[in-house]
Chains A and B, each alone.
Chain A
Amino acid sequence: AQSVAQPEDQVNVAEGNPLTVKCTYSVSGNPYLFWYVQYPNRGLQFLLKYITGDNLVKGSYGFEAEFNKSQTSFHLKKPSALVSDSALYFCAVRDITGTASKLTFGTGTRLQVTL
């Protein structure tokens, strides 16, 4: 069974500093990996994905994520955090076993960016 772990319930960072939100995964085959962001009272918004190719993936709002197969990780990063980045971030994994398959989410990490 596939699973995702987000070990930090909350990450606090000062505006202008780099941020990292951690994610590790477990799948039986090759993973498709995703990051989503959720603002209060909003649905999940797609940020970025890793399917194949370069391990460093760039996404929306200046976010990027690095796929590390040996460590089964897909950490979300941003060089310079903004207060407006404060939100709930979810990592997700899909293990393709057919034409489509289940998207499994982590429990989420709350990012708090302060001035």
Chain B
Amino acid sequence: EAGVVQSPRYKIIEKKQPVAFWCNPISGHNTLYWYRQNLGQGPELLIRYENEEAVDDSQLPKDRFSAERLKGVDSTLKIQPAELGDSAVYLCASSHPRRRVVGQRDMNTEAFFGQGTRLTVV
């Protein structure tokens, strides 16, 4: 089974330019996440989708960042215009292949990550 696929792996752009990242989650996963990971830090959630609906975008800088998941499968994350501080690794993840509930607890809750896109803004 293919994992989460992200492209490109690396991107170098000049500040004020636009950039877009693409993610194809694991087949059947209805939850998709975009995380940003700064150097030496843990991933921080930007946006979470349940199918095509953005259910948590509270940490997404909406003045310059946008995301979409039109058909509830693959997703794009865009930055326009990029700033120097946007340099980071952008990680996509997906979860919930098939719900298996034991008592009140959903047993399939781990997220699976892609390799990420390393963005350098110069």
Contacts and interface: CB of A to CB of B under 8 A. Distances in A.
Real binding pair = yes
Interface of A: 4, 30, 32, 34, 36, 41-46, 49, 51-52, 90, 94, 96, 99-100, 102-108
A111 B28 CA distance: 34
22 contacts: A32-B109, A36-B113, A41-B115, A41-B118, A43-B4, A43-B91, A43-B113, A44-B43, A44-B91, A45-B113, A46-B110, A46-B111, A49-B109, A51-B105, A52-B102, A52-B105, A94-B109, A99-B50, A104-B45, A105-B44, A107-B42, A108-B42
B109, B112, B116 — most chain A CB neighbours (10 Å): B109
B110 A49 contact: yes
Contacts of A105: 42-44
B113 A44 contact: yes
Given A90-B42, A90-B43, A102 B111 contact: no
B107 interface: yes
B56 interface: yes
A108 B118 CA distance: 18
B105 A103 contact: no
B114 interface: yes
B65 to A, nearest CB: 17
A103 B42 contact: no
Contacts, number: 66
A103 B115 contact: no
B50 A103 contact: no
Which among A45, A96, A100 has the highest number of chain B CB atoms within 10 Å? A100
Interface in B65-115: 91, 93, 95-96, 102-103, 105-107, 109-115
B109 A46 contact: no
B112 A46 contact: yes
Contacts of A104: 45
Given A45-B113, A90-B42, A108-B41, A103 B106 contact: no
A108 B89 CA distance: 15
Contacts of A32: 105, 109
A100 B31 contact: yes
